[in-house]
Chain A
């Protein structure tokens, strides 16, 4: 009974995290913060997988392995996302400096 409750508790926490992350993704207007919000949602999905795989004494190793795969995939995409955000900022920065230089001459 307690295992059941523990499993549901973590799975429900995961469900709330998904919703929180989605709220952040839509309302935050900076790409870096949206990237963070997606990671919160992703962690929520993983926690749902773990919670619903909670048995009487053990947690199903199958979803555990899937979650590890998911965590690695998520960090790969987050890293690329961060690189894109920085490249975008560099381009904007350079364009602004060009404008200023163009304005002076």
Chain B
């Protein structure tokens, strides 16, 4: 037995059950959360780098599943995010409340499909299997986006299809060139020839569309902003990370031989532009959910800004992994909180939020705590991630990168402060009794988790570096915990 396959298979079992269960979705979700939590704990106890092939069919024919540090961080984070989002969604998509609604019936199978797709993407090293996984995620993601706006979903689907074609084109070249699609085998075989370089470029292009990196982000804000709150949380938290993780596996492991420093710097530069553009757009938004969606565009930028820093001094790899986890949890918390706030508010605009801090203090607190992590203020997970990245940039003399990250943090403070300031102003809004305790608890728990992640910085950074590919982090992490803590004290 192994958690590597069960983490993918269990949600699929729940998807089948949810199609047959009718009114039993509540019990099913409880069972799913318990199962996935247990499997995630099991995954974390495995030695980094634990791997096995599915069904005992050896490479290059079979499919390899592997628990490296990145997967060991991201999969438990998915469990936390998806589990709590599910608890929130239980009330929005309650079987008893809108028995005749297509969305309540379709949400749950799609939810489990997306959960399975996210785990499958983080756990496999097989590039073709990742194609199927990407399409699983696309189907679920587009259908969830369609629950908010069909127009945005259609645009999302077409662009995602095009991204898949480019990705598959690269996979076809790699398979024909090397006779394998496994990242671990490719790591030892890949050469820097034309076909490999073209394949890497095509696959990266396709994946950047899926990860919504500027300037390929156009589909994201309308889709994420229009979807129902739990769907937005899953789209911004889980789905965009899939494209990112596959890109990382290509550039730093499988096709590292063809990954030139110039290419890494181009990706880093685009990441920097994404931070600035996304933040400035977020500042301009009038609607709360569009603001949060543009914040995702900006935060994705950090993930790619880190690319040129990975091979150098410092702990950029740990920072990158950390940022992916911290953003997943904090952004899910923020979308869920925003969903509750908009239900109580008079309209979708930020100006309509006045007085909400008094009406729903816990929810506004959750929004605020998530904002702390997204801005990168200590002691949050977002702070630890950005500290590691800025530190690595400064050690490598990349002052521009460091400056962009700091400016990005300031801009985040600007755009996230605005809704909070409005929520704390005025007092005319009556106190809103929460519809269900778990709906209030879910964003709060996620936001607290994002905050507490900062305290677990050391062990988590060790975990991330544990299974890191050979191209990453030549030096060990000496007393990282101390550096992070002293730094946070300094800033305070």
Direct chain A–B contact by Cβ atoms under 8 Å: yes
Task: List residues of A whose CB falls within 8 A of some B CB.
Answer: 11, 18, 21-22, 25, 31, 34-35, 38, 41-42, 45, 48-49, 52-53, 62-63, 66, 69-70, 73, 76-77, 80-81, 84-85, 87-88, 91
Residue among A77, A84, A85, A91 making CB contact with B135, cutoff 8 Å = A77
Contact partner of B157 (CB less than 8 A), chosen from A18, A21, A70, A81, is A81
**A42 CA to B139 CA in the complex, in Å?**
17
A31 and B175 contact, Cβ closer than 8 Å, known pairs A18-B169, A25-B162, A69-B132: no
Please tell me if B168 contacts chain A, counting CB pairs below 8 Å: yes
B161 touches A18 (CB 8 A): no
Q: Contacts of B172 on A, CB cut-off 8 Å?
A: 45, 48-49, 52, 63
Interface contacts beyond A38-B162, A45-B169, A62-B61: sample of 4 additional A-B pairs, CB < 8 Å, sorted by A: A18-B165, A77-B138, A77-B139, A84-B142
Q: Is B150 in the interface zone, CB < 8 Å from A?
A: yes
Residues of A within 8 A of B192 (CB): none
How many pairs, one residue from A and one from B, have CB atoms within 8 Å of each other in the complex?
A: 78
CA distance A87 to B143 in the complex (A): 12
Q: Is the CB of A88 within 8 A of B150?
A: yes
CB neighbours of A87 from chain B (8 A): 146, 150
Query: Taking the nearest CB of chain A, how far is it from the CB of B125, in angstroms?
Result: 16
Residues in B lying within 8 Å of A, measured CB to CB = 61, 128, 131-132, 135, 138-139, 142-143, 146, 150-151, 153-154, 157-158, 161-162, 164-165, 168-169, 172-173, 175-176
**24 pairs from A and B in contact (CB 8 Å cutoff):** A18-B165, A21-B165, A22-B162, A34-B158, A35-B158, A38-B158, A41-B165, A45-B172, A62-B61, A69-B132, A70-B131, A73-B132, A77-B138, A80-B142, A81-B158, A84-B142, A84-B146, A84-B150, A84-B153, A84-B157, A87-B146, A87-B150, A88-B150, A91-B150
Question: Which chain B residues border A31 with CB–CB below 8 Å?
Answer: 154, 158
Identify whether the interface residues of B are mostly helix, strand, loop, or mixed. helix
Tell me what chain A mostly uses at the interface: helix, strand, loop, or mixed: helix
How far apart sit A35 and B160, CA to CA, in the bound complex (Å)?
Answer: 11
Given A18-B169, A42-B165, A77-B138, A63 contacting B158 (CB threshold 8 A): no
> CA separation between A38 and B165, bound complex, in Å?
8
Q: Least Cβ distance of B212 to chain A in Å?
A: 18
Residues of B within 8 A of A63 (CB): 172, 175-176
A63 to B128, CA, bound (A): 10
Among residues of A, the one whose C-beta sits closest to the C-beta of B155 is A31
Min CB–CB distance B335 → chain A (angstroms): 23
Q: How far, in angstroms, from A31 to B41 measured CA to CA in the complex?
A: 45
Query: In angstroms, how far is the closest chain A Cβ from the Cβ of B88?
Result: 26
Chain B residues contacting A69 (CB-CB under 8 Å) are 128, 132
Are B154 and A85 closer than 8 Å at their CB atoms?
A: yes
List the B residue with the shortest CB-CB distance to A38.
B161
Given the known interface contacts A31-B154, A80-B143, A88-B150, the answer about A49 and B175 at a Cβ–Cβ threshold of 8 Å is yes
Complex CA distance for A84 and B152, rounded to whole angstroms:
10
With A38-B162, A42-B168, A48-B172 known to touch, is A80 a contact of B157 (CB < 8 Å)?
A: yes
CB distance from B83 to the nearest CB of A (A): 27
